[in-house]
Amino acid sequence: MDAQLAEFKELGEAILLHGQDFLYALLILVVGLIVIKNLIKPLRVMLEKFGLRKQMVSTVSNIFYIILLFTVISATLQQVGMNILVIRRLLIGIGLAAIGVISIFRPLLPTLPFKVGNTVKIGNLLGKIEATTILNTQMRTFDGKTVFIPNSKILNDYVINYHFTDTRRIKVDITIRYIHDIPRAKQILEAVIIEDPRALNKPARPVVYVLGLIEGCIKLGGRCWVNNLNFWQTKCELLEKAILRFEKEGITIAFPQQDVHLYHDTSSPTVPEDDNWPAAERLDQHDENKDATG
């Protein structure tokens, strides 16, 4: 009992003697980590503005993060009374080893071809990336489902990232009947696209093609470029505008169809008039012709 009281007494004296130092050390650590976190984000943005590749931006940011982290840890350990020389040697050794590992092995590590907030298509899944971890990626589909995709599957499947380009091309395909004036129909569809302020002249001006002759109709295809964010809404509205304009101009929207023509042959079957044929053979030939014509 006396031994336990002595231990508690020593602990209390240690807290009174070094408690303030430990409190300051904890404060330095917490504040330092917050400052580092707020410095790394602007650094990434600044490096990206300089046109550096994403891989290079990530490497430089990680090295800068390690240097700042070791600086904070060094200040924390110094506050609790550790020898500054020992701290420096230890952190320099660990820091150089970490920087070497990052510089050498970072380019060899596979990276995901997107970041949080991008709209991507992975296999048959289309949605917005909400979070990524070492093991999986969290996607929010546009019908409200949350999907967790293993990163191994992402790295082995095709991925379409719709945020890598600023513009996308819209396809507006419409079918009309053969009886209509093709040049006039092309002009109407082109006018509908050009009148929309979201249609761009670069990388190419809006244009309309005759895509082909399908069953019972002519297929026209309008093409234009729009900003990526306006793609889906513009595509739907252009198709609606084109249909309404064609109806107003008296051009009928066609659909694939087939015309079937029936011909009725009422003529009697012909029996060969050859006296050299035996009567039985002529009769057989008459029956074959009758069967063939129904």
pLDDT at 53 over 60: yes
Return the CATH fold of 119-161. SH3 type barrels. (2.30.30)
Contacts of 53 (CB under 8 A, 6+ apart): none
Evaluated on CA atoms 180, 181, 186, 192, the torsion sign reads negative
pTM of the model: 0.51
Return the CATH fold of 171-248. Alpha-Beta Plaits (3.30.70)
In three-state secondary structure terms, 176 is: strand
Instruction: Find the mean pLDDT for residues 2-10.
Output: 55
pLDDT for residue 278? 52
Residue 242 pLDDT level (bands cut at 50, 70, 90): very high
Q: What is the mean pLDDT of the chain?
A: 78
Q: Are 290 and 269 in contact (CB under 8 A)?
A: yes
- Give 210's strand partners: 220
Which overall architecture, per CATH, does domain 2-108 show?
Answer: Orthogonal Bundle (1.10)
Residue 195 pLDDT level (bands cut at 50, 70, 90): very high
pLDDT at 268 over 50: yes
pLDDT, one tens digit per residue, over 73-107 is 777 777 766 666 666 677 677 767 766 666 665 55
